[in-house]
Structure 1
């Protein structure tokens, strides 16, 4: 409880000093124009998209900055006139920024024809379709049993808590906007969610801020089970590791969509609109799917890992988060404090009493 409230108090300050990964593509055609993109989208997956865009439009001098989801949000609030494009998988935060009047309307050909369920007010655009998955060590499965669902995970952790102590990893919902979003959505979806959190806590599950940190620990053997990783980041990484297996849970699987918008105060709005139009084009989406290994959303793409293929294969289990005002409810300050307080109490094993008074 104390840790949770303390983390909320220092949250904004700590985010402002978060590390930033920067990538630059210099314009090769004059006259040139800057294009500044701020994103929570790891460079190995975004780079093919950026390089293909730059090949097609070499007049743009592209600066790409990759941050964590919450650091990205805080940086935008501090400097809303800095980026031309903002992209993030933290759907509630992106939606709130746009709902608060921070985005321009984009009326390009691809933006106009984009599926209605994947955009809002011609200002906010979903451009990926990414299931939230688990990763398991094959040897651990041979020893403890197969995991194909959240129920399987709960059963394994409950029965083998001592053997798995410190060998499971997941998001810290206090430090990660994505982790918080998954937590609040799962608590609505599953009546056994809090049982699972209590079981993970009893096994001293390690809490981190990114999928990349989870994958590093899974690859080097520190962790045997990873819970709630971004599927798009997992796919290529785990397919190259014979000792690991990734699982789209067959009882239910959250699906997040990365959201992009052009800020109202974007310094280079023409360049920004060009990039958004490319991002939603068949060509841009094809690069995401083929070279970035990201689940592209374009309805004309149906290869492995695309939204079309995933919806066809997992028709019953996928639970996409809707792009709607319902996202705002997850960011209500009182609800957020109550949710994080309960999560911490369940995870640490403290008794749950009446909700704290505001």
Structure 2
């Protein structure tokens, strides 16, 4: 019987793959294969990459296999017990909480879990590990200089009073396609009844309903859109760094704050590696990497030693409106309630008798290159 291979290092993984590629399988056996860790995530890998790299440096015996998916695709992976992921990450808070409530999330323990802020965890099974603003984005170069878009009220007035300049050039989430978009609209509606007036204004402006923030940002940079609503702040700010024509606004009347949620799947093929990853993500070390090396930010007081507030967190704390991680989110995943909500959305959005958008009404645009 051959001797067991030594524990792998990060360099060893690369060497083993190279040797296998050269047909030297026996030599590659000198390096033991790392334990794979399958993460199903509705979070762009480049955004979270510094955290993944730091974890692999701290745990060289674990090899992350990261699947970057849409929120609906993540939901399907959760329920597909034939090939469950080890770890699940999503910004669709109601879906994540519902999965945990249905028993798909394993309960964790340990000092890091016990010390995690109570309002950012559910039964020690699912955890909110970020705290991010939901923002507007617009093309300042394609709109009049006196245009005020700094609040929901100002946005409504702009869409209503200057409809021709926005007609056909506004991007919003499609709540039927996007789980996070649906959750954000529910949060808006729960905060103010005036939200439905804004939905009707979007309908009159013939807004485009899209499945994700990435599609909205791409349309902005190409000049197809002049405004996008309810974008995830981390994505928007990261994108705007290389697209200075895009302005980001945390609305001054209220700013929704969303937490991306993570859990270990109850049927995780590699439960020990999964627990180690989630514990690292919630640890002071993991939160420091998150805060200092990404556009994300951890929950308040999650890491007292982090040393600085996140650039994505609004400075005016009284106006922030966190989406609570509580049982109220579960109502949003009830099929009958969802049908009623989407029917109400469609009724408010589909404003009859609106004139078509005319290209002559639009502000001239010089589209930039697509990324």
Q: TM-score range by the shorter chain?
A: 0.7 to 0.9
The separation in 2 between residues aligned to 1:175 and 1:252, in whole angstroms, is: 25
Residue 284 of structure 1 corresponds to which residue in structure 2? Answer: 286
**Structure 1 residue 306: Cα displacement:** 6.2
- 8 Å CA contact retained: 1:144, 1:160: no
SS at match of 2:209: strand
1:66-118 superposed Cα distances (whole Å, 9 cap, x missing partner): 11111110222123652111111100000011111112111133112111111
Residue 86 of structure 1 corresponds to which residue in structure 2? Answer: 88
Residue 195 of structure 1 corresponds to which residue in structure 2? Answer: 197
The separation in 1 between residues aligned to 2:311 and 2:137, in whole angstroms, is: 20
- TM, length-normalised to structure 2: 0.83
- The counterpart of 2:303, out of the listed 299, 303, 314, is 299
SS at match of 1:36: strand
Residue 322 of structure 2 corresponds to which residue in structure 1? Answer: 320
- The counterpart of 2:213, out of the listed 206, 211, 214, is 211
Residue 117 of structure 1 corresponds to which residue in structure 2? Answer: 119
1:225-284 superposed Cα distances (whole Å, 9 cap, x missing partner): 110000011112214433221011111111110111111111111001100111011221
- The counterpart of 1:160, out of the listed 140, 158, 162, is 162
SS at match of 1:217: helix
1:302-358 superposed Cα distances (whole Å, 9 cap, x missing partner): 524268xx36x221211111111111011222221111011112111159xxxxxxx
**Structure 1 residue 143: Cα displacement:** 4.5
Question: What is the count of residue pairs matched by the alignment?
Answer: 324
The separation in 1 between residues aligned to 2:275 and 2:45, in whole angstroms, is: 21
SS at match of 2:333: coil
The separation in 1 between residues aligned to 2:163 and 2:341, in whole angstroms, is: 25
Runs of 4+ in 1 over 4 A off after TM superposition: none
1:121-168 superposed Cα distances (whole Å, 9 cap, x missing partner): 111111000110001211344346121100010000001112211111
- The counterpart of 1:44, out of the listed 46, 50, 59, is 46
- 8 Å CA contact retained: 1:169, 1:226: yes
The separation in 2 between residues aligned to 1:200 and 1:103, in whole angstroms, is: 37
